[in-house]
Amino acid sequence: MVLRTMRAVRPGEVPIDGGTAVQDHPDRPVFRGNGEFDYACVQCGNVLAAGMDPAYMTRRVRVRCGRCGTVNIAAEISVAPARRQRGGPR
Ligand SMILES: [Zn+2]
């Protein structure tokens, strides 16, 4: 299992949609899957999501740490395949 550190959501960074998952218990990851990466809080290192595939850890996935309260977002958003027209405006 590879541990990745998430990053804090920057002020003014507007969520695209959805909400922020709140970790109820610091010892229990909010998400648990069959991927190869654990995602840890940038502030305290607490594991927020375990066994995740990077494809799921998009900009939409935000987790409030149950230990320190930091709202985290996956740092490597670009890992998810972007559906972007090559050469287009976006
Ligand atoms: Zn934390």
Phi-psi region for residue 69, left (φ > 0), alpha (ψ -120 to 50) or beta? Answer: left
20 CA distance to ligand 1 middle (Å): 14
Number of domains in the chain: 1
Q: List strands edge to edge, sheet with 2-5.
A: 2-5, 37-40, 47-52, 31-32
Question: Can you give the residue range of the structural domain that contains 56?
Answer: 2-78
| pLDDT recorded at residue 83 | 56
For 70-84, the three-class secondary structure string (H helix, E strand, C coil) is: CEEECCCHHHCCCCC
Question: Does residue 79 surpass a pLDDT of 50?
Answer: no
| pLDDT recorded at residue 76 | 57
79 CA distance to ligand 1 middle (Å): 23
The string of pLDDT tens digits covering residues 25-78 is 999 999 999 999 999 999 999 999 999 998 888 877 899 999 999 999 986 554
16 CA distance to ligand 1 middle (Å): 23
Query: 9 lies in a domain?
Result: yes
Mean pLDDT, range 13-36, rounded to an integer: 86
Rg (CA), the chain: 13
88 CA distance to ligand 1 middle (Å): 38
Question: Does residue 82 surpass a pLDDT of 60?
Answer: no
- Under DSSP, the state recorded for 42 is T
Query: 23 lies in a domain?
Result: yes
Question: Does residue 80 surpass a pLDDT of 60?
Answer: no
| pLDDT recorded at residue 78 | 46
Query: 86 lies in a domain?
Result: no
